[in-house]
Amino acid sequence: MTDPRHLVDTVLEIVGARADAEAVADVGTSALTRFANSFIHQNVSEDVAEVTLRVAVEGRVSSATTTATTPDGLAAFVGDTIDIATHRPPDAEWPGFGGRTDYPDVDHWDAATAHAHPTARAEAVRAFVAAGDGTAAAGYCRTEAHDVAYGNTLGRSAAGRYTTAIVDGIHQTPTSAGSGHGAGRALGAIDAASVGALAAARARDSVAAYDVKPGEYEVVLSPECVATIAVFLDAYGFNAKVAQDGMSFVEPGEQQFDGSIDIWDDASDPEALFVASDTEGTPKRRVDLVRGGETVSLVHDRRTAHRDGVESTGHATAAGDVSGPLGTNVFVGGGDASVEEMIASIDRGIYVATFNYCRVLDPKSLVVTGLTRNGTFMIENGSITGAVTTMRFTQSFIGALAPGRVRGIGSDGRFADSEFGPTMVHAPSMQLASWNFTGGAEG
């Protein structure tokens, strides 16, 4: 397999003195095993090798990505990227590239996952399917391994590697479905049978679902739902570009959340995923976003940091000029309650397993509309009494987590699938005082 450090060195060598430049090389394997009707129907594996180059010629900047990693392909790629830069207008806010720096000693790598044979994924699928006992299962098992290198013409260099694994799927009856999700660094650490059993139980318990009236309900949200909330907070709030554009809800130093809420981003956490530097070669560090309910900071890349006169926090992304910096190792602090205890404390409410098709209506207040999916249940007198049909909600995610609105946080924190997978957030279940359901699936 190609060495990403060699690719970076080769590209910078070709650039030479023609421009200031930075290069990122990502080399690895992405493998996927899909199943439907409880049978595997597809197994694919792809070796990935791509290089992203950004050049600056007298303040004129361009960037591009290629998978043509032969010497001739790289030479043409570099020449085209530099040529494009010379025809662009000067970038008045160009912050320049970063110089040499130190990096945390982080290695989020599992060798067994990196070299996982198709049979290893098939065994995970088998365990998920077998947990259904008569239901029909569909979903996928994916393993990935990436070796990443960064370098620029100022001497900054970084390298890291990581693996990820996901088991995700549903079990179905003729009239219902239930979902389950497991993720992390190592395939061997995912209990696919338990993931499948949860999906099957949700499916069986969702038979004979009934409509309920729209309105405000106390809720218990699964880790998947909480992860979706966190992704929206990340993209539309803690993102420094969004804040600079005047569209973020964030008010640093204000108690915008319940005192039980802690949210942070930390690539150095032993449970974290991905590498410990961003696409600009900036080292990542722990960034507290919400501490004890108080909003404390934003995440930055070099451009947003330059505007605010601060240091980058190491959150540049490949699409950062458009979307801004993002947290990629987001953790939502856990509590000490079990899901059963949270349900037992509710007289009348709703348990939600998954959100679907969430879209922002107002970014400043983060009012979002979306649907429930694959496991929504009525809670009455401290017990789940039946399944509820798909419901639409229109809810401010900030308001839902506001002071006094969080009534319990689960001890079941794990990597959860968000609305915009495969982004993964480490999140627990959560009990909230109210959630605004506005109708059924039709509106």
Planar angle of CA 281, 329, 413, nearest 5 degrees: 165
| 129-144 residue pLDDT tens | 999 988 999 999 999 9
| 386-424 residue pLDDT tens | 999 999 999 999 999 999 999 999 999 999 987 765 557
Cα distance between residue 378 and residue 391, in whole Å: 12
Cα distance between residue 85 and residue 184, in whole Å: 39
pLDDT exceeds 90 at position 115: yes
Segment 374-381 shows an average pLDDT of 97
Segment 221-244 shows an average pLDDT of 96
Segment 36-42 shows an average pLDDT of 97
pLDDT exceeds 80 at position 53: yes
Please report which confidence band the pLDDT of residue 32 belongs to, taking 50, 70 and 90 as the band edges.
Answer: very high
Peptide bond into 104 cis (omega under 30): no
Q: Report the mean per-residue pLDDT for the chain.
A: 95
Residue with tokens 């505007």: 307
Domains of the chain: 4-202 (3.30.2290.10), 208-443 (no CATH)
Segment 420-433 shows an average pLDDT of 84
Segment 353-361 shows an average pLDDT of 95
Q: For residue 284, which of 42, 40, 104 has the smallest C-alpha distance? A: 104
Cα distance between residue 439 and residue 436, in whole Å: 9
436: part of which helix (H) or strand (E)? strand 430-440
| 150-193 residue pLDDT tens | 999 999 999 999 999 999 999 999 999 999 999 999 999 999 99
Per the CB < 8 A criterion, the answer to whether 158 and 98 are in contact is no
| 226-237 residue pLDDT tens | 999 999 999 999
User: In the sheet where 20-36 sits, what is the strand order?
Assistant: 60-66, 39-57, 20-36, 136-152, 157-172, 177-184
Cα distance between residue 106 and residue 108, in whole Å: 6
**Tokens encoding 272:** 């974290």
Per the CB < 8 A criterion, the answer to whether 216 and 394 are in contact is no
Percent of the chain beyond pLDDT 70? 98
